[in-house]
């Protein structure tokens, strides 16, 4: 899952980035509205964390522009201000959630999880496909009840596929959502990880749609 943080505070921004990366997200950080708007317009994120108080361009403006451009990733708005009228404005501008500073990092992560989950159309924090079960909260994966040890990348890949169960996911899409900005697109990394996941979870878990991408079968599909 790839996240965009738009935050100008010199300590909070990098700190958030580090925390989220250690949680398993690919994170890009923009330190002003201009940059943030550009990244959000040109790259593909699964969610964005947007500070309202920004230099150059106001956070609300950035959000509004994204929405006009039909950029529909979920946005979690951060603000120091605490009046509910600001919240209403933010929500109406297209924010999907709202968090007042100061906040607990854990709550931020929980809300982020919820946002991504909902954006993918999943309600439960447990993602399943056939015998495979993944708990987004604990990061555990089981196959028919048995715990399976996945590496970080394997987990990211599987997680993304599970979040988009039933959908055909292209290799490009996977690369864009598992890695951040700078990554060599010309490599067969995805294939390699798909192979490794298949070795651990069974070959039938991931279906190859030749020429289009990969797909996790919906049990009742």
Partner DNA sequence: GCGTCCGAATGCGGATCTTGATTGTCGAAG
Partner DNA sequence: CTTCGACAATCAAGATCCGCATTCGGACGC
Task: State the residues that interact with a copy of itself by CB under 8 A.
Answer: 66-68, 70-72, 74, 84-85, 87-88, 91-97, 103-104, 106-107, 110-111, 113-114, 117-125, 137-140, 151-153, 155, 166-168, 209-212, 215, 221
Check if the beta carbon of residue 185 is closer than 8 Å to that of residue 174: no
- If the CB atoms of residues 55 and 121 are measured against a copy of itself, the closer one turns out to be 121
- Least Å distance, CB 30 to DNA, is 22
* Position 147 contacts DNA (CB under 7 A): no
- Rounded-to-integer distance, Cα 108 and Cα 12, Å: 13
DSSP state of 58: -
Output the smallest distance, CB 133 to DNA, in A: 20
Instruction: Identify residues 150-209 at the interface with DNA (CB under 7 A).
Output: 151-154, 171, 179, 184, 187-189, 191-195, 198-199, 203, 208
Q: Which residue has the tokens 């190859």?
A: 208
Shortest Å, Cβ 99 to DNA? 28
Binding partner of 188, given a copy of itself, DNA, none, CB within 5-8 angstroms per partner class: DNA
- 168-169 and 146-148 as β-strands: parallel, antiparallel, unpaired? unpaired
What does the binding site for DNA look like in residue numbers (CB under 7 A)?
Answer: 149, 151-154, 171, 179, 184, 187-189, 191-195, 198-199, 203, 208, 210-213
């Amino acid at each position: 899952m790839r996240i965009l943080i738009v935050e100008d505070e010199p300590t909070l921004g990098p700190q958030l980035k580090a925390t989220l990366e250690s949680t398993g997200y690919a994170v890009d950080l923009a330190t002003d509205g201009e940059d943030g708007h550009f990244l959000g317009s040109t790259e593909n994120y699964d969610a964005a964390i947007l500070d309202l108080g920004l230099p150059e361009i106001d956070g609300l403006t950035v959000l509004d522009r994204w929405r006009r451009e039909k950029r529909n990733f979920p946005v979690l708005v951060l603000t120091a201000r605490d009046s509910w009228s600001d919240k209403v404005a933010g929500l109406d501008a297209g924010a999907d959630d709202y968090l007042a500073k100061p906040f607990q990092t854990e709550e931020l992560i929980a809300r982020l999880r919820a946002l991504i989950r909902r954006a993918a159309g999943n309600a439960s924090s447990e993602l399943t496909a056939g015998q495979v079960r993944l708990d987004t909260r604990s990061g555990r994966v089981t196959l028919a009840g048995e715990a399976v040890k996945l590496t970080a990348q394997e987990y990211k890949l599987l997680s993304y596929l599970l979040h988009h169960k039933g959908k055909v996911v292209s290799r490009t899409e996977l690369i864009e959502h598992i890695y951040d900005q700078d990554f060599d697109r010309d490599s067969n990394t995805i294939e390699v990880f798909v192979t490794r996941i298949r070795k651990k979870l069974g070959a039938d878990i991931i279906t190859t749609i030749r020429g289009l991408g990969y797909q996790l079968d919906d049990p009742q599909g």
